[in-house]
Amino acid sequence: MNGLMTLTACGPWNFSSSVGETNYQKALSEYPAQAIVDLAALKANMQRLVSIVGASSSAGSADPDHAATAVMGVVKADAYGHGLLPSALAALAGGATWLGTAQPREALLLRKAGIGADRAHILTWLYNGTAAPFAEMIESDIDISVGSFAGIEAIAAAAASCGKCARVHVKVDTGFGRNGFTPEAFDAAVASLRLHESEGTLKVVAIWSHLAVADMPKEPDFVAATDQQVRVFEQFVARAERGGLHPEMRHLANTAATLMRPEIHYELTRPGIALYGYEPDPSMGVAGDFGLQPAMTLQAQLATVKDVEKGHGISYGRTYLTSGPTSTAVVPVGYADGIHRSASGANALGAGGKKAVHEGGPVRVMTSQGPRICHVSGRVCMDQFVMDLGGFARDLGVSEGDTVELFGPGRGAALAEPTADDWAASAQTISYEIFTCLRNRIPRLYLHAAETLGAADLEKLDPASLL
């Protein structure tokens, strides 16, 4: 009965069935916060990306020697915190034909879950060449990035031992300064790869690289730096061809370049953050400008709500003092859940004499007068933070057990709905880190699974996670 008396700043959620509603109520009783991931939004975002690259390959810019552009859903880091398998399946439902993970383990998990090679190519790109499970990857038809001599030798040896040719994507460093062969090392790399190709242990499927600053298309220096990376990439491709390698595919574009640079889509693009409904950098605009919808809503149920007098210190360090009599509410998520401590709030009254002012992370709170934004007031603690409600709870109709929303799709300013970009701004980071930091005390619950996935895919998911 308690549930009926509380207000909620989220939803109403469109449960697929009474089982979904039961799962939801169970999650509310077991955990103080929940991440609701809309699989229909993930699918729609992928459909949007597929249509963007489809437009670029049919616009006449496509090279007749190369195939139309495919899209890889980048699902590394547990699909940017959204859940590896549900997100991968939604990406495939939206038309992705490739999946990408950083770690071999994640790629193998996708294959073990039954995503076969007939359904999706999977590329993985980060490992140490002495310990990675190369033979298992080769046997599981997982494409492997190679950007070092140690890597070439380790993959070739594993391929020889299992008697199957490994599909490799040669990573080149076009200016990012992270993985991949440098121009200086490239002739030797090509010669080595050629040798292994002739022995039948390796097949060079692709040549690829990663962009450093494509997410700032309004900064002339960064545009020039990306142009330079593209030129260097083309030189690597030409050198590979001259050296006798004939990769079918070239790929360079992350989300930013998928959205902004159709001329470098090549045969494959690798969007990550766009799948989850965000633009890479707020300077590019908002997700809606690109036809994308944020897929995750993070909500929590209020613990203690109480009245405090003027000048009351809030949380560790007294960085926030109430400016008048008010009510506070405890939100039971903290830095141990991935709520950034840098999104703490400080007002001019607090800060132990330092008088620093910093607006804490925003939270949508439902009141009897409609939604309002409150902010983290004082420091984020390990398990919780406090919000100054800016008025008395009894006047606002706010009480313990109410559901508040830390971020969601961002349905317009009038609805006072923050997004992960707003949290990123407060925490001085990027939306990517806001999602990937969310830890497993916050269950991921999936909305619209039945509408988005086929029956065989639905069966692969934890039934308790479906709403």
Ligand X SMILES: *Cc1c(COP(=O)(O)O)cnc(C)c1O
Which of 72, 416 has the CB closer to ligand X? 72
Rounded to whole angstroms, the Cα distance separating 389 from 376 reads 10
Both tokens assigned to 342: 């840098």
Which of 210, 364 has the CB closer to ligand X? 210
| Number of residues located near ligand X, criterion CB under 6 A | 11
DSSP 177: -
84 in Cβ contact with 78 (< 8 Å):
yes
Both tokens assigned to 403: 């559901």
180 contacts ligand X (rule: CB under 6 A): no
Convert residues 191-210 into a mask of x (bound to ligand X by CB under 6 A) and - (unbound).
Answer: -------------------x
Task: Report helix, strand or coil for 1.
Answer: coil
- Considering only 59-67, 219-227, 268-276, 318-326, which stretch makes contact with ligand X by CB under 6 A? 268-276
Which of 216, 363 has the CB closer to ligand X? 216
Rounded to whole angstroms, the Cα distance separating 331 from 279 reads 28
- Considering only 159-167, 270-278, 324-332, 385-393, which stretch makes contact with ligand X by CB under 6 A? 270-278
List 87, 174, 201, 255, residue binding ligand X (CB under 6 A): 255
Convert residues 272-311 into a mask of x (bound to ligand X by CB under 6 A) and - (unbound).
Answer: xx------x-------------------------------
Among the listed residues 112, 316, 354, 355, the single catalytic one is: 316
- Residue 24 falls in the annotated catalytic set: no
CB of 440 to ligand X, least distance (A): 21
247 contacts ligand X (rule: CB under 6 A): no
- Considering only 28-36, 132-140, 269-277, 445-453, which stretch makes contact with ligand X by CB under 6 A? 269-277
Rounded to whole angstroms, the Cα distance separating 339 from 37 reads 18
Give Cα separations from 253 to 213, 236, 260 (angstroms).
11, 16, 10
254 contacts ligand X (rule: CB under 6 A): yes
CB of 155 to ligand X, least distance (A): 18
DSSP 345: B
374 in Cβ contact with 346 (< 8 Å):
no
Residue 208, class by beta-carbon neighbours within 10 Å (0-12 exposed, 13-18 middle, 19+ buried)?
Answer: buried
- Residue 320 falls in the annotated catalytic set: no
74 contacts ligand X (rule: CB under 6 A): yes
- Which residues in the 123-152 window bind ligand X by CB under 6 A? 125
Q: Which residues fall within 8 angstroms of residue 23, CB to CB, at 6 or more apart?
A: 445, 463, 464, 465, 466, 467
Task: Report helix, strand or coil for 136.
Answer: helix
Among the listed residues 24, 31, 43, 76, the single catalytic one is: 76
* Residue 357 CB neighbour total at 10 angstroms: 14
- Which residues in the 75-114 window bind ligand X by CB under 6 A? 76
Which of 31, 266 has the CB closer to ligand X? 266
Both tokens assigned to 224: 């020039």
Which of 155, 273 has the CB closer to ligand X? 273
Half-sphere exposure of 467 (CA within 13 A, CB side): 22
CB of 442 to ligand X, least distance (A): 21
Rounded to whole angstroms, the Cα distance separating 185 from 132 reads 23
**Which stretches of the chain bind ligand X, using CB under 6 A?**
74, 76, 125, 210, 254-255, 270-273, 280
Report the catalytic residues: 76, 316
